[in-house]
Structure 1
Amino acid sequence: MAYAEVLTTDAALAGRQRQRATRSWWLLLSPSLLLMAAFFLLPLVFVVWLTATDGAGFLGNIGWYLSDPVQRAVLVRTFTAAGLVTLSCAVVGYGYAYLMASASPRARMVLTIIVLMPFWTSLMVRTFAWVILLQDNGLVNNALAAAGLGRWSLIRTTAGVVIGMAQILLPLMVMPIYATMTRIDRGLLSASATLGARPATTFLRIWLPLSLPGVGAGSLLVFISSLGFYVTPALLGSPDSSLISQQIFAQVSGLLEWGRGGAMGLSLLVITGALLAAAAGTLAAWRSVRRSRGLS
């Protein structure tokens, strides 16, 4: 009987400790939740309210946006540009992160400073620098002409926008990949070489799969950030290569169509969320298949 009472007392104490731990976690999370509510949820509610009350109403504004061929083309161009920026950052950032992970501590410090240096410079200054570099007689075109590749139309084009955005967002790709690479057990590489695997095989079968989580995290950061860029596309692009952020600005600031601007923003949010959900579902299915085959 005494033993049962002790078990009951211990269970009650454990329950109270769990309750206190839960309250402590909620107290720790409350500042972040309040910030999220103030800076994300409330503006989102305000945008929904504007979409529903301004102009043709919620369905009318959404219908206008989805039925306008020009706006649909801008939406496709926005996602295409974001995809190209993400791909460019992944190709360049992976090699740079690999160099950082393989370098000596002193060289790694220098490489880290170089990749983080853009954060210390104003976005406007960097974009105007690209305006000068990408001109028809700029440094980039002069280098291409000297190499025998001719001169390219880089300013006021989607290509120029992608180049400028990729340079600005590259650190968001490099740092997650580098953080993942530093956690890879180098003993696996040594074991692979001991078993007779070639360096290319070791890279493709061991290093690359283990570093893919960093590539995924960096790609997510770059892709989402690319969708909302305004300054760089406005300065490096043209009206024919405008992105959705410029169209939203034109509707809200130029035409005072707050409802249409809200509809464009909400459509972008929903489409982006659907794409991310599809990507997450595909990744989960791929991991499930790997586990079922004993490859996890």
Structure 2
Amino acid sequence: MTQTDPDVRQRRRALLMTVPALAVLALVLLLPLGIVVLRSFTVPEPGLGNYVWFFGTKVNLTVLLRTFTIAFWVTLVCVVAAYPYAFAMSVVGRRTRLLLVLCVLVPFWVSGVVRSFAWVILLQDAGVINRIVMAMGFEKIRLIRTQLGVTIGMVQILLPLMLMPLYSVMRAIDLRLIQAAGSLGAHPVKCFFQIYLPLSLPGVFAGATIVFILALGFYITPLLLGGPSSTMLSTLIQQQVLSLLNWGRGGAMSVVLLVATFAFLALAAPVMKRKYDLSGSGK
């Protein structure tokens, strides 16, 4: 028996332990995905007809571009809003941190459907926000059935998913580095951009990736808060599958969205890896 035999057996046992999880994953994820891909090529007849229809219809391409645009703006707003909040969570005392965490988690425990309906009440033309705006002497702002309204609702729902990865990274940053740089004469702004920001980039990238991917597939919030000018691809997929019973076209739309998402992540991965290495956390 060689010296490596125990290691080999241990690895085999570890691999066998993952088999049930892999089987469940294949059953609930890969199998339905495979069926969707298969139907996109075979329904109503075998071939590339569904994809020719998708790329030959201007509305589909416009909605696909709008979906990525809305997801980008939602991600950007989440980063801008979550960064100072996560920083505050990482530097305040224990009791204040607990309060800030509760402010993040309590809305997260409420169903997204309920929160979307709440935004319908707040954003409608005669809603609370417009009443406050008009009471201040300004004209009514159209928020419901617009991309702005969709962005507001999606940001509120996805913000906790940006905050928690960012906070976990910021919590591990040693603030004595900032103090040391300041004691050597560095300006606070320079300390932030040259020390703190690079160290926090892994959390920014992790949270932004989660938010962006989830925003691409959002359905309920764009449906309730949006209109014809803010329709996202998930809404068109629902119409094709449930309303028109056209599984082939709906499957083609889903595959295009999935491939476009992976393509975007593949293009962004080298940039993210380079920034991650520069931060010093990847070493």
TM range (shorter): over 0.9
1:212 maps to 2:211: no
Judge conservation of contact 2:201–2:275 (CA < 8 Å) in 1: no
Q: Distance in 2 between matches of 1:203 and 1:287?
A: 16
1:55 maps to 2:44: yes
Deviation at 1:286, TM superposition (A): 5.4
Report the CA distance shift for 1:205/1:20 in structure 2 as closer, same or farther (over 3 A).
same
Q: Distance in 2 between matches of 1:217 and 1:287?
A: 11
What's the counterpart of residue 258 of structure 1? Answer: 247
Deviation at 1:285, TM superposition (A): 4.9
Aligned pairs for 1:33-48 within 5 A? 33-48=22-37
Q: Distance in 1 between matches of 2:90 and 2:274?
A: 30
Q: Relative to structure 2, which stretch is displaced further, 121-130 or 144-153?
A: 144-153
Q: Relative to structure 2, which stretch is displaced further, 217-226 or 139-148?
A: 139-148
Judge conservation of contact 2:201–2:276 (CA < 8 Å) in 1: no
What's the counterpart of residue 122 of structure 2? Answer: 133
What's the counterpart of residue 133 of structure 2? Answer: 144
- Within the candidate set 208, 228, 232, 2:217 is matched to 228
Amino acid corresponding to residue 132 of structure 1 in structure 2: I
Q: Which has the larger radius of gyration?
A: 1
1:75 maps to 2:64: yes
Judge conservation of contact 2:87–2:170 (CA < 8 Å) in 1: yes
1:184 maps to 2:181: no
- Within the candidate set 230, 234, 237, 1:248 is matched to 237
Amino acid corresponding to residue 130 of structure 2 in structure 1: N
Q: Secondary structure at the match of 1:111?
A: helix
Root mean square deviation of aligned Cα: 1.9
Deviation at 1:24, TM superposition (A): 2.6
Q: Relative to structure 2, which stretch is displaced further, 154-163 or 193-202?
A: 193-202
Q: Distance in 2 between matches of 1:148 and 1:276?
A: 45
Amino acid corresponding to residue 173 of structure 2 in structure 1: I
What's the counterpart of residue 5 of structure 1? Answer: none
Q: Distance in 2 between matches of 1:85 and 1:147?
A: 28
Aligned pairs for 1:41-120 within 5 A? 41-120=30-109
1:21 maps to 2:30: no
Paired residues in the alignment total 281
Judge conservation of contact 2:54–2:60 (CA < 8 Å) in 1: yes
Q: Return the TM-score normalized by structure 1.
A: 0.90
Deviation at 1:287, TM superposition (A): 6.0
Deviation at 1:134, TM superposition (A): 0.5
Deviation string for 1:90-111 (max 9, x for gaps)? 1101111011111110010111
Judge conservation of contact 1:58–1:263 (CA < 8 Å) in 2: no
Once the two structures are aligned, what percentage of the paired residues are identical?
48
What's the counterpart of residue 280 of structure 1? Answer: 269
Q: Secondary structure at the match of 1:137?
A: coil
Amino acid corresponding to residue 113 of structure 2 in structure 1: M
Q: Distance in 2 between matches of 1:88 and 1:183?
A: 24
Report the CA distance shift for 1:22/1:76 in structure 2 as closer, same or farther (over 3 A).
same
Any gaps of 5 or more consecutive residues in structure 2? none
Q: Distance in 2 between matches of 1:54 and 1:27?
A: 38
Report the CA distance shift for 1:58/1:86 in structure 2 as closer, same or farther (over 3 A).
farther
Judge conservation of contact 1:94–1:177 (CA < 8 Å) in 2: yes
Amino acid corresponding to residue 237 of structure 1 in structure 2: G
Judge conservation of contact 2:89–2:97 (CA < 8 Å) in 1: yes
Judge conservation of contact 1:58–1:259 (CA < 8 Å) in 2: no
Aligned pairs for 1:151-170 within 5 A? 151-170=140-159
Deviation string for 1:111-163 (max 9, x for gaps)? 10110112221211111100010011222223333455532110011110010
Q: Distance in 1 between matches of 2:30 and 2:47?
A: 18
Q: Return the TM-score normalized by structure 2.
A: 0.94
Deviation at 1:179, TM superposition (A): 0.2
Report the CA distance shift for 1:220/1:58 in structure 2 as closer, same or farther (over 3 A).
farther
Deviation string for 1:163-219 (max 9, x for gaps)? 000000000000000000011112211211111112111111111110011010000
